[in-house]
Amino acid sequence: MGALFLASASPRRRELLAQIGVPFSLLDVSVDETPSPAESPEAYVERIARAKAQAGLARLNDRDGCVLGADTSVVLDQRILGKPESRADGLAMLAALSGRTHRVMTAVALASRAACEVCVVVSEVTFRVIAEAEAERYWASGEPLDKAGGYAIQGWGAAFVSQLQGSYSAVVGLPLCETVQLLDAFGLPRWTKGSS
């Protein structure tokens, strides 16, 4: 089946793949991540993950291989919370998530010349109440700047999480159980020494 390529700039996804001993190379891809009108959050993450995998496949030219693409969205009341555009936006996201349960949707797509398979994993994350001053300090740390929903569960943002139902690794950015199932279906190796 050839080598595995990861079509992602996310250091979290690189770390998660390496954690399960998957050898891979990186591909830099660019896709338009603008949601379509009336598109559901599930359909959105699936479309973006598939687009990343297929954009990566196109970059392989004549080389053999499979490309993994993924997308993660934080969803509150059917509204996708992207990366904060400003301090005010980031603080507004934290205020909206405070004391509530939201969904984190991660789609993972694996594409070869012959096929493209996609799965979507939905997890529920509950935040305790976040005081305004605490949200300000968290924003000042810089951690929320490039994170969907304005927080990182694998970082200091974990302090806000009172409950998680679903896949922790999916909330971080790549559902490992489902990713392994895709890799196995495509005949790709894992648990190997010297992984990226």
Q: Which of 32, 71, 146, 184 is catalytic?
A: 71
pTM for the predicted model, two decimal places: 0.92
User: Residue 60: pLDDT above 60?
Assistant: yes
87-111 as b/e: b if 16+ CB within 10 A: eeebbebbebbbeeebbbbbbbbbb
* Tens-digit pLDDT profile for residues 81-93: 999 999 999 999 9
- Percent of the chain, pLDDT > 90? 90
pLDDT at 194: 54
User: By three-state DSSP, how is residue 137 classified?
Assistant: helix
65-76 and 116-127 as β-strands: parallel, antiparallel, unpaired?
A: unpaired
71 part of the active site: yes
* Tens-digit pLDDT profile for residues 62-112: 788 999 999 999 999 999 999 999 999 999 999 999 999 999 999 999 999
